[in-house]
């Protein structure tokens, strides 16, 4: 074990202060910051515009936590799933999803997840720990490089929908967003980033208070409490009424409508009565709906809904003025689709 501090845990100001304390000019700190967050240096040795002596001083006092690609699986539809190995040996997964117009990275915020939603493969893994913001950022940086190599251009969108509940790792999630959007980082527009939550009302309000500019998605999957309790235990402490109140607060603060993610399961939440519940909930909160087709996950009783039911469900909502789109899951053959990330190799 090393006692050296991870240099990437320092803010730009802290780094400048450190450089002044060792008699170096401030602009040197800015150069290092750029190497760390923009130029994706892998070591102090890479920082070629610093003197050998300065690189040696940094090496003596600091270290880097790096994440590495452990495995890479490409689906027949072009989706690529990555298993990332963290510095302590834990693994998380990320996905690159190419479509005609977009290159989207889906990334993780925790090792495992504590919420144990019934339909989710990640929920079957115990939550081990939160990711540091640099570990969240690195997934994006690596997938961005992969996108350029594989598809000739960088990422257009990022979704925090991989392993873990982002709002239960709020500080690191938001700091990773800051790094992704800052000029010395990937300089992506906040509106191209979506944070998806299972519904932590307190943190949704916090996002509002913090003036968050990213998009917010709520994994809803059922719009009546009894049903939602049966698949998402978090609903018992953050029920629909509490969530509606938090989302309206968030809307007042940010003027941003939420997207409800609704995985449609055969004979569970695919009837017109279910669509009515969803319509009623949509009327309480400025929102739109993504209806997501399900991929069977081993060890869960859920099945993919029939196509005619999905179409009727979507039509019911659209006919009543709700913006509802049906989304096909991607990367099914490699377990990269929604709710399937579970560190399964091979
Ligand atoms: S759906 Fe999200 S919140 Fe629920 S168990 Fe899976 S990763 Fe956790």
Q: 138-197: per-residue pLDDT in tens? A: 999 999 999 999 999 999 999 999 999 999 999 999 999 999 999 888 899 999 999 999
Atom index in ligand 1 nearest the CA of residue 114 equals 8
Domain shared by 21 and 165, yes or no: no
Domain with 139 in it: 68-334
Are 48 and 144 members of one domain? no
Within 8 A by CB and 6+ apart from 321, the residues are none
Q: Would the pLDDT of 345 be above 50? A: no
Q: Which residue has the higher pLDDT, 214 or 117?
A: 214
Same domain, 12 and 110: no
What distances in angstroms separate CA 159 from CA 155, 156, 214, 249, 295, one per listed residue? Answer: 11, 10, 10, 22, 19
Distance 293 CA to ligand 1 centre (A): 16
Q: What residue has token string 């780094």?
A: 15
Is the alpha carbon torsion for 317, 222, 109, 341 positive or negative?
A: negative
Closest approach atom of ligand 1 to CA 162: 7
338 tagged catalytic: yes
In a domain, 340, yes or no: no
**Helix, strand, coil % (nearest 5) of the chain?**
40, 20, 40
Token pair in block for residue 109: 């915020």
pLDDT tens-digit profile of 225-284? 999 999 999 999 999 999 999 999 999 999 999 999 999 999 999 999 999 999 999 999
Residue 232 in tokens: 């998402």
- Expressed in angstroms and rounded, the spacing between residue 316 Cα and the centre of ligand 1 is 28
Active site residue 93: yes
Mutate to test the pocket of ligand 1, among 94, 108, 169, 198 (most ligand atoms within 8 A of CB): 198
Judgement on whether residues 203 and 234 belong to the same structural domain of the protein: yes
- pLDDT value for 92: 94
Catalytic entry in 93, 135, 165, 293: 93
Q: How far apart, in Å, are the Cα atoms of 178 and each of 12, 87, 193, 318?
A: 12, 22, 11, 36
Pocket of ligand 1 (CB under 6 A): 113, 115-117, 120, 122-123, 163-165, 198, 219, 339
Q: Which of 107, 110, 113, 260 to mutate to test the pocket of ligand 1 (most atoms within 8 A of CB)?
A: 113
Looking at the structure, do residues 211 and 271 belong to the same domain, yes or no?
Answer: yes
Length of the chain: 346
Residue nearest to atom 4 of ligand 1 (CA): 117
| Closest atom, ligand 1, to C-alpha of 161 | 2
Give the mean pLDDT of the chain: 91
pLDDT at 233: 93
Domain count along the chain: 2
Q: pLDDT at position 195, please?
A: 96
Residues 147 and 44 in one domain: no
pTM for the model: 0.90
Instruction: Say how many Å lie between the CA of residue 35 and the centre of ligand 1.
Output: 34
Does 174 share its domain with 265? yes
| Strand (E) or helix (H) holding 209 | helix 201-209
Percent of the chain with pLDDT over 70: 94
- DSSP-based three-state secondary structure for 308: helix
Determine the distance separating the centroid of ligand 1 and the alpha carbon of 340, expressed in angstroms: 10
Given this model, what pLDDT does residue 346 score? 37
**Least confident residue range of 71-85, 199-213, 221-235, 324-338:** 324-338
Other Cβ atoms within 10 Å of 326 Cβ, number: 16
CB 290 within 8 A of CB 325: yes
**Which value, to the nearest 10 degrees, does the dihedral of the CA atoms of residues 85, 87, 88, 93 take?**
-30
Q: How far apart are CA 264 and CA 272, in angstroms?
A: 12
User: To 10 degrees, the CA torsion angle through 127, 67, 342, 339?
Assistant: 90
Helix or strand or coil: residue 199? coil
Assigned domain for 280 exists: yes
Residues 211, 167 share a domain:
yes
Read off the CATH number of the domain in which 295 is found. Answer: 3.20.20.70
Which atom number of ligand 1 is nearest to the Cα of residue 123?
5
Structure tokens at 312: 């009727």
CA distance 133 to 3: 20
Q: How far is the CA of 163 from the centre of ligand 1 (A)?
A: 7
Distances (CA, A) of 120 to 10, 198, 336: 35, 12, 12
């Amino acid at each position: 074990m090393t006692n050296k501090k991870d240099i990437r845990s320092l803010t730009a100001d802290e780094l400048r202060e450190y450089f002044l304390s060792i008699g170096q000019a401030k602009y040197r700190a800015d150069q290092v910051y750029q190497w760390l967050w923009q130029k994706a240096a892998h070591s102090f040795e890479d920082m070629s515009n610093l003197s050998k002596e300065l690189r040696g001083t940094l090496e003596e006092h600091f270290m880097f936590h790096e994440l590495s690609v452990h495995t890479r699986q490409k689906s027949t539809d072009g989706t690529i799933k990555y298993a990332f190995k963290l510095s302590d040996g834990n693994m998380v997964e990320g996905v690159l999803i190419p479509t005609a117009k977009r290159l989207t990275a889906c990334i993780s915020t925790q090792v495992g997840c504590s919420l144990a939603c019934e339909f989710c493969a990640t929920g079957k893994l115990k939550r081990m720990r939160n990711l540091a913001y640099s570990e969240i950022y690195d997934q994006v940086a690596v997938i961005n490089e992969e996108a350029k190599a594989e598809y000739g251009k960088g990422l257009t969108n990022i979704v925090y929908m991989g392993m873990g509940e982002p709002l239960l790792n709020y500080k690191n999630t938001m700091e990773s967003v800051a790094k992704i959007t800052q000029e010395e980082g990937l300089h992506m527009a906040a509106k191209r980033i979506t944070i998806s939550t299972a519904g932590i009302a307190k943190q949704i309000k916090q996002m509002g208070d913090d003036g968050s500019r990213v998009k917010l998605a709520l994994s809803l999957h059922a719009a009546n409490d009894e049903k939602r309790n049966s698949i998402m235990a978090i609903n018992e402490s953050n029920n629909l009424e509490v969530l509606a109140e938090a989302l309206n607060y968030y809307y007042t603060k940010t003027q941003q409508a939420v997207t409800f993610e609704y995985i449609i399961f055969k004979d569970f939440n695919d009837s017109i009565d279910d669509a009515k519940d969803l319509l009623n909930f949509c009327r309480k909160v400025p929102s739109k709906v993504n209806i997501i087709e399900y991929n069977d996950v081993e060890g869960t009783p859920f099945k993919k809904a029939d196509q005619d039911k999905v179409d009727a469900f979507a039509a019911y909502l659209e006919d009543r003025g709700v913006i509802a789109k049906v989304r096909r899951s991607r990367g099914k053959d490699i377990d990269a689709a929604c709710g399937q990330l579970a560190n399964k190799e091979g």
